[in-house]
Amino acid sequence: MPKEFLESQFININGSNRELMRQMGYAFVDLITDEVLANQTQDFVKDISILKLDIPQVGINWQDLLLEVRSQVLPRSLNLNNPRYMGHMDSTPLAITVWADALASAINNNMLSSELAPLFTQLEADLMLWFGQLFGLGDKSFGTLTSGGSLANITALLVARNYKIPSIKSKGLENKLVALISDAAHTSFDKGMNVIGLGSKNLIRVETNALGQIKPEVLEAKIQEQLNLGKIPFFIGAIAGTTITGAIDNIAAVGEIAKKYNCWFHVDAAYGGAAILSPKWKYLLSGIEQADSITFNPQKWMWVARTCAMFLVKDRQHLINGFDNTLPYMADNSLNFGNFTLQGTRRTDSLKLWLALRSLGLDGYAQLVNDSMDKAQALRVWVDNSVDLELVCEPTINIVCMRSLNPNLDNATLRQKWIDQGKLWLSLPLWQGDRIIKAVVLHPFAQWS
């Protein structure tokens, strides 16, 4: 392998290959702009065949690799940039967050510690306090960016468990603990109970109404039932934007119950938390300021490129106590995020979040959130006016669930027909025993008719 080839993978100290690097970067920029972000009229997935891994003995130059990416990778990827894609909680990302991600990769600081990421440690801490205050958690709030809402929810269970019984951290498990959450809550809570050693059978699921909201009176009855069995409820969760119907629990009522039974109160606002950015819709989250902790994913309804999620706590000490970790191999131990997260090394997700907030501004975000709510309302009217469709339930936010009324076309077949026609890519979640069709109206240019 020629030495020049290996050296061309990095910028030379004398900068002699800087022009080559620029050309490589521009070629990626052209590809991303023209064939990914501007992919709005292209198929959802063009090619479903398997891509061969094909690791070569001898390295390949970037020009050939880019041709391969164009012909082999892009056609096999799911095209979220098509405005007819409304599946799951995914959207075309804000362009600035795509470029910011590349910038973060180039800077390549490690969010493990302030020694390894001095500015970004401060930026993440400041952003966590800013979001904590935005949700009404107050001046002592804190948090950490996580790679996804699942990790944030798992962290919530862990911190709550250790808050209830601090000795568990060193002495091991007290197996009488139970957590309570609605039957519409995300499966990451089951995963979390497994991870923190309490077992998913000690996650008590509480019945929901037709919209998917927890029934507070059933929650209280279930708590009583568990107490009578000698169990110790330690965690009660409310959901702001359930995964399937987008329902928002009565957060204030659930919070009251959590307080009454001396339980940690967590709000999973992974999706619906973005309503806080809209003066018009933030009332939907009323009561969230009572939370001990919150999960929120800017990678969902804030259009920030994945991954970007966070775990927020009302009292920073609880997050610190939840881990009690140290990093003896760091010289500076003032603020090391590696001590407060389940991860060690993390990407710098704060940069794109900060740039997104600054480039759109609070007014821009409010408008984008409001627009998506309006579009969802228009989609809802379209469903109402379609003789072959009906709503599954009244939408709360920009998630519209529907089902087929055509006796010859079940939901799965109808959904597949729409995908094959290039008309719509919607998801097919299981809801109360049936597969239904779900649209998440996130794309700023969403189209359906």
Ligand X SMILES: Cc1ncc(COP(=O)(O)O)c(C=O)c1O
- Span from 78-86, 146-154, 378-386, 438-446 in contact with ligand X (CB under 6 A): 146-154
Does 284 bind ligand X (CB under 6 A)? Our answer is: no
Smallest distance from the beta carbon of 332 to ligand X, in angstroms? 31
Site for ligand X in 305-324 (CB under 6 A): 309
In sequence order, what are the residues at sequence separation of 6 or more whose Cβ sits closer than 8 angstroms to the Cβ of residue 283?
none
In sequence order, what are the residues at sequence separation of 6 or more whose Cβ sits closer than 8 angstroms to the Cβ of residue 64?
none
* Nearest residue to 269 (alpha-carbon basis) of 149, 130, 137: 149
- Span from 31-39, 100-108, 147-155, 203-211 in contact with ligand X (CB under 6 A): 147-155
Rg of the Cα atoms in the chain: 24
| Cα gap 408→406, rounded to integer Å | 5
Smallest distance from the beta carbon of 150 to ligand X, in angstroms? 3
- Span from 27-35, 266-274, 277-285, 420-428 in contact with ligand X (CB under 6 A): 266-274
- Span from 9-17, 240-248, 390-398, 408-416 in contact with ligand X (CB under 6 A): 240-248
Does 208 bind ligand X (CB under 6 A)? Our answer is: no
Tell which one of 114, 144, 182, 297 touches ligand X (CB under 6 A). 297
Smallest distance from the beta carbon of 320 to ligand X, in angstroms? 24
Smallest distance from the beta carbon of 153 to ligand X, in angstroms? 6
Smallest distance from the beta carbon of 147 to ligand X, in angstroms? 8
Smallest distance from the beta carbon of 148 to ligand X, in angstroms? 3
Tell which one of 93, 143, 149, 237 touches ligand X (CB under 6 A). 149
User: Could you tell me the sign of the dihedral formed by the alpha carbons of 263, 201, 171, 154, in that order?
Assistant: negative
Smallest distance from the beta carbon of 199 to ligand X, in angstroms? 20
Site for ligand X in 72-101 (CB under 6 A): 89
Site for ligand X in 373-432 (CB under 6 A): none
Does 344 bind ligand X (CB under 6 A)? Our answer is: no
Smallest distance from the beta carbon of 294 to ligand X, in angstroms? 11
- Span from 32-40, 93-101, 239-247, 324-332 in contact with ligand X (CB under 6 A): 239-247
Give the residue with the Cβ less far from ligand X, 239 or 393. Answer: 239
Report CA-CA distances (Å) from 263 to 163, 256, 292. Answer: 10, 10, 10
Does 249 bind ligand X (CB under 6 A)? Our answer is: no
- Span from 144-152, 174-182, 279-287, 350-358 in contact with ligand X (CB under 6 A): 144-152
- What would the x/- binding string for ligand X be over residues 178 to 197, using CB under 6 A? --------x-x---------
Smallest distance from the beta carbon of 123 to ligand X, in angstroms? 21
Total residues contacting ligand X by CB under 6 A comes to: 16
Q: Which residue is nearest to ligand X (CB)?
A: 149
- Span from 44-52, 149-157, 285-293, 409-417 in contact with ligand X (CB under 6 A): 149-157
| Cα gap 395→402, rounded to integer Å | 10
Report CA-CA distances (Å) from 383 to 206, 210, 244, 427. Answer: 30, 18, 17, 16
Does 349 bind ligand X (CB under 6 A)? Our answer is: no
Q: Which residues bind ligand X (CB under 6 A)?
A: 89, 148-150, 153, 186, 188, 239, 241-243, 268, 270-271, 297, 309
